[in-house]
Amino acid sequence: MAEAERIIGTPDITGAEGSGETGPDGAAASPDAVTPDGQDTGAADADAGADAEAAVDRSPAARRRRIILLFCVAVVAYLLDLGSKMLVVAKLEHQEPIELLGDWLKLDAIRNAGAAFGIGEAFTIIFTIIAATVIVVIARLARKLYSLPWAVALGLLLGGALGNLTDRIFRAPGVFEGAVVDFIAPAHFAVFNLADSAIVCGGILIVLLSFKGLDPDGTVHKD
């Protein structure tokens, strides 16, 4: 029997003690500390975090590009809103509504002293202050803007706020009390304009980005 054990050999049970695995230096390794291929998970997570952080370009040039994009989106939204309102006032105001999709969608020019979609007509000055405050907040956020989707979202908000604020300042009945021109009239819904649409689209995009954990500075928060 002893001769048989000598020929076959005795199993090495030194490394079986504890976790059953040893590291490169001979120390026992914890099963939770390594992946199936032997890679340290803690180091892998640290490397992934470092890569994600490094992927965000926070150079001054990158921030300038995002700010330029923000203002380009804002200018396009503002000019589309302003041009459409000028056309509506010149051609459609005091005229019969134009049917685009029968009774489902019409162009009908109205003057709205309230907020978006005709809400709160008794608080025109308050909504004017809110619009001005939104513009100031966006300008402050632009100082740490490195995210492309946030640049688009803030650009839509800025363009829409400027569009309706222009009406508040320059249209009758007076400065900061002007009525906004609305003209898009879906069936069973409030009449609105392109500035309202830009504000709503920008707001929805911001909510989605927040749910994804993306900050304006490009940082991603993962649960």
Catalytic residue among 51, 182, 215, 223: 182
Please tell me the distance from the alpha carbon of residue 120 to that of residue 112, in angstroms, as a whole number.
10
Q: Judge whether 150 and 183 are in contact, CB under 8 Å.
A: no
Q: Where are the alpha helices (DSSP H) in the chain?
A: 2-8, 41-55, 60-91, 124-141, 148-170, 194-211
Which of 130, 134, 131, 155 has its CA nearest to residue 216? 155
Q: Judge whether 202 and 161 are in contact, CB under 8 Å.
A: no
Structure token pair of residue 32? 């939770």
- Catalytic-residue membership of 182: yes
Catalytic residue among 196, 215, 217, 223: 196
Helix axes 60-91, 148-170, angle to 10 degrees: 40
Rounded to 5 degrees, what angle do the CA atoms 118, 123, 125 make?
115
Radius of gyration of the chain, Cα coordinates, nearest whole angstrom? 31
- Catalytic-residue membership of 37: no
By annotation, the residues acting in catalysis are: 182, 196
